[in-house]
Structure 1
Amino acid sequence: MGNTEKFEMIANTYDTPERIQIAKVTSDAIRKYVVDAKSMNAMDFGCGTGLVGFNLVNEFQSMLFMDTSPNMIDRVKQKIADLHLSNAGTLCFDFEKSAPSNLHVDYIFMAQVLLHIRDTELVLSRLFEVLNEGGHLIIVDFDKNEKIVSTMVHNGFHQAELTDMMARIGYKDIQSETFYHGSNIFMGQDASMFILDARK
């Protein structure tokens, strides 16, 4: 997945107060879209140090933390041990390189991950295959922001364009909304974040 090397380097210093705050806002937004999931399995896709997933771990029967960065996964493993969690696991894997054959979950959420993925349609298609029938993919990311110019990340997304792409893949009941505006939250720029919920 894009920018793995960068995340390898910052894993041990990733949990800043700013990132912890954004993760809380994000997980609160996701929670509103999670219904009766105590018997369901979830995956925090591109989990980083698990800031979002750990806020939601009690909403599900189990939580799989997945990232391409071994150092990030090591941080998650340490947190799982520190918290004595029996319903959490980890997977170091790159969906851009291949598709897992035996992985199936009911909920996938990805928070500020899609902007790092070069081939968004490929990865969203592979995530579709991982979802159980009726399962949900919840995306939290930045609205399109023309002030951002970068070769490292997408400068956000148009919700309508993302919805169209996901409908082509096969997702249904797609709904999205902008839920947060913040100062200096996207590469030093003021930005807004959206949440999108789609079902298989």
Structure 2
Amino acid sequence: MMGNVDIFEMMANRYDTPERIQISKATADAIRKYLVDTHDKNAIDFGCGTGLVGMNLLNDFNSMLFLDPSQKMIEQIKQKIDDFNIRNADTLCFDFEKESRTNLQADYIFMAQVLLHINDVELVLSRLYDILNVGGHLLIVDFNKNDEIVSDKVHNGFDQNNLTELMTKIGYREIQSKTFYFGSKLFMNHDASLFILDSRR
């Protein structure tokens, strides 16, 4: 179940549809509202896909690491970094569901529509907690739970309260979340809404 890396490998070169670009911009704008004095901070765009969200936030950070388990997605980003001569970005192909990575450190990690593809949510959120600097932020953007959606490939969204409880158990603090985006046919052909959750280590 989930992971879905092979699906994303096939989609990589036609991933940047107008709708995805629009949602990524709205997501980046929502994340930006939570950023304070981040110009000397280092960020990870976790499960970055083709980097649509992170590319919108490059100027808000000192550096950005684009991290994704799909090599083809990472190749798309490398191309963008070359094409636009971006100096403060790097890439890493890595799967946090398979192993942890202790030599990474970040002040900010954001994951946009990534959690729904992760099988063991608690495991990955714990591993991300471990690489956050003290006082650092994890920002999650994902779909609100929708019981009409039944899939063995993705979670059908998340209940903000349940997610907050789980994250509190892991050790995250100062958790706040709110719904910020509504769209028709947004999530597996269902109308859906996205929430943003901010937390600190």
TM over 0.5: yes
Q: Is the 8 A contact 2:102 2:130 kept in 1?
A: no
Aligned to 1:156: 157
Aligned to 2:45: 44
In the alignment, structure 1 residue 87 sits paired with structure 2 residue 88:
yes
Aligned to 2:122: 121
Aligned to 1:168: 169
Instruction: Report Cα offsets for 1:74-106 as digits up to 9, x if no partner.
Output: 000000011111100000000001111200000
Kindly state the Cα deviation for residue 67 of structure 1 after the two structures are TM-superposed: 0.1
For normalisation by structure 2, the TM-score amounts to 0.99
Q: Is the 8 A contact 2:184 2:190 kept in 1?
A: yes
Cα root mean square deviation, aligned? 0.6
State the distance in 2 between where 1:83 and 1:182 align.
31
State the distance in 2 between where 1:181 and 1:19 align.
14
Aligned to 1:67: 68
In the alignment, structure 1 residue 53 sits paired with structure 2 residue 54:
yes
SS in 2 for 1:184: strand
Instruction: Report Cα offsets for 1:126-163 as digits up to 9, x if no partner.
Output: 00001000000000000000111100000000000000
Return structure 1 stretches of 4+ with deviation > 6 angstroms: none
State the distance in 2 between where 1:147 and 1:70 align.
33
State the distance in 1 between where 2:44 and 2:145 align.
25
Identity %: 67
State the distance in 2 between where 1:180 and 1:119 align.
26
Name structure 1 gaps, 5 residues minimum: none
State the distance in 2 between where 1:60 and 1:161 align.
30
Name structure 2 gaps, 5 residues minimum: none
For normalisation by structure 1, the TM-score amounts to 0.99
State the distance in 2 between where 1:77 and 1:39 align.
23
